A and B are shown apart, each in its own frame.
Chain A
Amino acid sequence: MSFLQPWMLFALPIALLPIVIHLINQRRYQTTQWAAMMFLLAANRMNRGYAKIRQWAILALRTMVLLALIIAIGRPLASGSLGGGLIGSLSGGASANTIVLLDRSPSMSANAAGGARTKLEAGVAQIAETLDTLGVQRLWLIDSNTVLASETQAARELASPEELLEVPQTGPSDASADIPAMMLAALDTIQANSMGQTDVWICSDGQQTDWQARDGRWPSLREALAPLGRRVRFRLLSVSGSDQLNRSIRIDELQVRGEGDERELWISGKIQNSSSEEDPPDASKQSSSVRMDLAGAESIVELPLESASGEFSQVRVPLGSDQERGYGHVSLPADGNNADNTFYFAFDQPPPRRSVIVSENEEVAKVLSLAAGISSDASSEASAEVITTSEVPAIAWGETALILWQASLPTGAKHESTRQRLQGFLDRGGRVIFFPSENPNASDELFGVSYENWTKLGDDVTISSWRGENDLLGKTLAGMSLPVGKLVVRRLASMSGETTTLAKLSNDEPVLVRVPTEKGGVYFCGTTPVSLDSSLSSDGIVLYVMIQRALIAGAESLANTGRYDAGAVNVDAASNWRRVQGKKDALSTEHAFSAGVYADADRFNAINRSQAEDSPGRLSTDQVDELFQGLVLERVSQSGGETSSLVDEVWRAFLILMLIAMVGEAILCLPRRSAETASPKFGGITT
């Protein structure tokens, strides 16, 4: 049992007062000579049993009255979930500072177990109630959106726990949470405000996407927090979801095909069942009814599925003859989580897939030209132009989607303008893939990467590992892996610099890396497609897919539509967009985190939750323990959809106990009726 006023426990010895008074009273007896001893002996003998019990019962009740009063003043808490125990009790339930880390990700919008509220609502309500009960001196809120939007001012100070229920920063969001970033923000807040004892409440459903358990920031966090010891206590409120059926819908590909009256919107995507429950048995499982909204015109579309949850591809939706571009959304009926039931899209005529190959090697240029010039989509035309470095200034930067650069890196003052154009191209959203030149110079560094001299490898060196979940080497829509492992690298120009490795050899040498940029992507390949260097051309699938993906991504920046993951767009820019579809009550400052269709001048931008949010994976208890290893963590489970406080003050029960004890004591102290009647009144002479 914990106490809100634990210092009152020092007054517990006062409860012994009745016994002390009794003992003192015993010592204050009088002595008298007595003649009628025979009656006294008889009375004492008769009295011994009941009177002794009664006397001790009265003493016990008096002690209980004081005990209950002291405990009631100490404001006891009923729940042991806050890690009661003696130490917890003596140190009190409340800290001077409290920071609430709030996961607002779409998975938190699922219905809470046993209740009509969402997990987010239930969690926020419980934390507000609990903090209200425990009492806080200073309270900060760090929500998942604010952390993504601002790296410096992530914490917001609240006046009282009730404010948690009122501020919009505790509402649902469509952006994934970044728990390590939120933890870092909490650490920054603690250090910036020189906080003493601090409770850090984390309200989350433990979705793996949000927690990023393998992220490299966790060890750094533990290292930074460990010296604080018990000064910082983490309290993880794990909100559990209901067992209701939950399905999510996502559109992976959207194309406008045909012309005139035959214009159609081709949609590919998937419906996923992320709940533990199976779909109800249904004979018509091979399709699913989906409500489609095209710029306000609603219709029901039957999406053909292989099973109740699965992919649908190239579902055709007829468009008007003059409807070249537009927007809309598809939605599923209400279920366990309504946040993943809608997916917004915007469509336009496919932009030209124009590539520019800068190469000094004809063979390389030829292979790359073939891979870039043949469109993967029959409705889209692709073109590839081979130029030399001297022709770079003449590139039509505003029409190009992809640049394949196999030449010396444009470094030095001489190529300053080229670098600036490349930077602008990337900022617009274009893609660039660099290949090593014939004579790479280690001192030439571009975007933080430089090539070493060529190293000749054997004929049996293959790519041992690669990132298959996304990016250029990601799996196909059908979930098939690319045959990257079959590629043989015969010659390699090692790369150095801060990069993200997408593929590496068995000797850990990277073959394909990416330099993170804000919008576009810069890739560096350590070899070339010529047969002397690798089997990229002979096993051409990987090269083709790689280049086509980069081309499609680059082409999107040329289109009049944009598809973004919530939280991945610039907050300031998005706040100026006009909402066309989506939640009407969302704040303009949170456009970047709210799913919907937004108009930016003539361009339609569709924002949706990230693909990882549809994954049902949750962190296990062991994984959480591992993340907080060496830190003080108290796990609090929300169960049964409770929205009340996690702790209950039970002083009323002790006051009632005190009253009962007082009444009992009064009853025991009442003179016995038989004693009244048995008391003889003598006087006068009797015979």
Chain B
Amino acid sequence: MSEQHTPREFLDPAVLAGLAGLPLFARRAMRGNVSGRHTSPMRGASVEFAEYRKYVPGDDLRRLDWRAHGRTDRYYVKEFEADTNLRLQLVLDTSGSMDYGSGELTKLQYARRIAAAIGYLAVQQGDAVGLSCVANGITHHLPARRNPAHLKNIFDTLEVARCQGETHLVEVLHELAETTAQAAMVIVISDFFVDPDPLRNCLEHLRFRKHDVSLFHLLDPMELNFEFSRPTRFLDMEGGTAIFAEPSEIAARYHEALRGYLERVQEIVSSSGIDYLRVSIDQPYPEVLTNFLTRRAMAKGGR
């Protein structure tokens, strides 16, 4: 008797199959403990030549380069780059504001699809994947593991994740920067409705811990365009105040505030060398992922 599988609404096999040909590359060296496709900071067996160095006692004699000895009469050891796997930590914002969606999907549902697809790709190429759901704290945390069975846990956690509470994203990212093993790849999927200045600090903290940080900045088209025609009472999804407004009266000011915020976020990520994608959730997520992966692959090739 076969096990009954409930189809997960955020997993689309066709999309995963389409993305299979695109590897997920880290932009910097990863300290994996098994062989993978990512560059390791350690020297090891690989086809990629790295450098020559002087022989020191204790080195494996099999690695002496006799040709160099013949030319220079000195002992050199030929070193090759070591390939390793990466630690990918997915950070999913599950605060109240992620429950908003004016179209078919809410921001959380969109984020689930992206997280699930990236997690699947990473496990498929032998990388370790972890997941942290954050709201006013870390609500769910799965440390990174490369075991394919771990992927099920990731998916289960994504499925049960619900939006609740206020966003304490900045504090949580500081915490993750400290607790996550060094040189991990951290992908944060959020609407980033936080003050940009604290956000800058926590992103720099992640960079300081040598993490490869990527941000998926999810925004609903209604949030971007603010197209309301009637007087509206806006209820804060993270609790707090309610505002009564005539949209036509305040639309200009809203756009002004939004524009200022986006420009500051852009400036922060530009100065920090962080991979940043601003996504309107009415866009097809496969396209967004393809764009993300392709760009990373190109960055890898250029290195």
Contact = CB atoms under 8 A, between A and B. Distances in A.
Contact of B191 (A35, A41, A683): A35
Contacts of A29: 230-233, 244
B254 A43 contact: yes
Contacts, number: 143
A35 B233 contact: no
Interface in B88-131: 96-100, 107
A32 B250 contact: no
B100 A26 contact: no
Contacts of B96: 35
Contact of B278 (A38, A40, A686): A686
Contact of B220 (A35, A41, A47): A35
A678 B255 contact: yes
A39 B254 contact: yes
Given A36-B258, A37-B238, A687-B277, A43 B231 contact: no
A675 B234 contact: no
Contact of A28 (B97, B231, B262, B278): B231
A687 B232 CA distance: 32
Interface string A676-687: 001111111111
Given A38-B193, A687-B277, A33 B237 contact: yes
Interface in B237-263: 237-238, 240-241, 243-246, 249-259, 261-262
**Interface-central residue, A32, A34, A55, by most chain B CB under 10 Å:** A34
Contacts of B249: 47, 51, 55
B41 interface: no
B233 A30 contact: yes
A682 B283 CA distance: 11
A42 interface: yes
B201 interface: no
B257 A682 contact: no
Q: Interface size bucket, B side? A: 35 or more
Interface stretch (B18-26, B55-63, B135-143, B221-229): B221-229
Interface in A649-687: 672, 674-675, 678-687
A31 interface: yes
B161 interface: no
B80 interface: no
B258 A32 contact: no
**Interface-central residue, B224, B240, B256, B277, by most chain A CB under 10 Å:** B256
Nearest to B276: A687
B262 to A, nearest CB: 7
A24 to B, nearest CB: 11
B219 interface: yes
**Interface-central residue, A33, A47, A672, A687, by most chain B CB under 10 Å:** A687
A46 interface: yes
B35 interface: no
Given A41-B243, A42-B257, A46-B257, A35 B100 contact: yes
B299 to A, nearest CB: 12
Contact of B224 (A38, A55, A680): A680
Given A30-B230, A675-B252, A679-B255, A35 B276 contact: no
Given A47-B249, A679-B255, A40 B243 contact: yes
B181 interface: no
A25 interface: yes
Contacts of A43: 245, 250-251, 253-254, 256-257
Contacts of A36: 97, 100, 191, 193, 223, 258
B209 to A, nearest CB: 23
Contact of B283 (A38, A40, A46, A685): A685
B291 interface: yes
Nearest to B229: A30
Contacts of B176: none
B283 to A, nearest CB: 7
Contacts of B250: 40, 43-44, 47, 51
A32 B233 contact: yes
B172 interface: no
Given A35-B97, A39-B257, A685-B283, A678 B236 contact: no
B279 interface: yes
Contacts of B231: 25-26, 28-30
A682 B97 contact: no
Contacts of B193: 35-38
Interface string A476-497: 0000000000000000000000
B182 interface: no
Nearest to B225: A682
A32 B252 contact: no
Contacts of B228: 30, 32
Interface of B: 96-100, 107, 191, 193, 219-221, 223-225, 228, 230-238, 240-241, 243-246, 249-259, 261-262, 266, 269, 275-280, 283, 288, 291
Given A31-B233, A40-B243, 17 more contacts: A28-B230, A33-B100, A33-B237, A34-B235, A34-B237, A35-B99, A35-B220, A35-B223, A41-B243, A46-B253, A47-B249, A47-B253, A55-B246, A679-B252, A680-B262, A682-B280, A683-B280
25 contacts: A29-B233, A31-B232, A32-B234, A33-B237, A34-B237, A35-B99, A35-B107, A35-B238, A36-B97, A36-B223, A37-B237, A37-B240, A40-B245, A41-B241, A43-B250, A43-B253, A44-B243, A51-B250, A678-B256, A678-B259, A680-B224, A682-B221, A682-B224, A686-B277, A687-B276
> 6 closest A-B pairs (Cβ-Cβ)?
A675-B252, A43-B253, A35-B97, A35-B100, A682-B224, A42-B257
